[in-house]
Amino acid sequence: MTEAKREHWDAVYRTKAADSVSWYQPTPEPSLRALDALQLPVTASLIDVGGGASSLVDRLLERGWSDLTVLDIAAPALDVAKARLGDEAARIAWMIEDVTVWRPGRQYDVWHDRAVFHFLTEREQRLAYRRALETGTAPGSAVIIASFAPDGPERCSGLPVERYDAAALAREVSSAFALQRDWREEHTTPGGGRQSFQWCVFRRR
């Protein structure tokens, strides 16, 4: 299963320009606003799960963050980000992993996931994600998850997705995580389409 998923995502990043995919954002504004609200020191550790070629870590490096990890199933996605960052890429830990198989070797102050969890359409995958989330965070860790909202797209990148409101996402991460904030976002795709996202910020109890 992992191999089929990897091949799918590898092909996406090999064949499409990073700024042409539907999830592209010139600046990851909602994530940066969510992080600002948390008022964390720049020494806090953050993992961008399924970070792909997102520029979130570029912006955080500029702000002085120093303990950043990007995990993605697709090596070509990380190659795009590394090429963009040049020498700065060496300041980031890059991990090519399927989050539903990965066993975190450390705990992070912030777990960030934009548009990854909603691809986990099987219960077993979601339970595996939750196990990784529990291992990769500690009491007090913040968890930022953005998924398609109930009125969001039914598919993305040719794959089916699950859609969530805040209460449904809270059930998925379990009562080990307290919901602190939630809001909706209308993302504009490079093609001018609109996609409804549900954002949630949790704090591990």
Ligand X SMILES: C[S@@+](CC[C@H](N)C(=O)[O-])C[C@H]1O[C@@H](n2cnc3c(N)ncnc32)[C@H](O)[C@@H]1O
Q: How far is the CB of 57 from ligand X (least distance, A)?
A: 11
- Does 74 sit near ligand X (CB under 6 A)? yes
Question: What are the start-end ranges of the H helices in 20-100?
Answer: 29-38, 56-62, 75-85
- In 3D space, the residue among 176, 97, 180, 94 whose CA is nearest the CA of residue 137 turns out to be 176
When asked if residue 163 is in the footprint of ligand X (CB under 6 A), the reply is no
Region 14-73 residues binding ligand X, contact defined as CB under 6 A: 23, 50-52, 54, 72-73
Would you count residue 81 as binding ligand X (CB under 6 A)?
A: no
Q: Which of 45, 69, 100, 141 binds ligand X (CB under 6 A)?
A: 100
Which residue, 44 or 49, is less far from ligand X as judged by CB? 49
* Among 115, 125, 114, 118, CA closest to 34: 114
Quote the CA–CA distance of 192 and 189 in Å, as a whole number: 5
Q: Are 106 and 68 in contact (CB under 8 A)?
A: no
Closer residue to ligand X in complex, CB, 2/43: 2
Which of 99, 128, 143, 169 forms a contact with ligand X (CB under 6 A)? 99
What is the bridge-based pairing of β-strands 45-49 and 67-72?
Answer: parallel
DSSP secondary structure of 24-37: --SS-HHHHHHHHH
Report, in Å, the least distance between residue 21 CB and ligand X: 7
> How far apart are CB 140 and ligand X at their closest, in Å?
24
41 by DSSP, 3-state: which? coil
Which spans of this chain sit near ligand X (rule: CB under 6 A)? 5, 9, 23, 50-52, 54, 72-74, 77, 98-100, 114-116, 119, 156
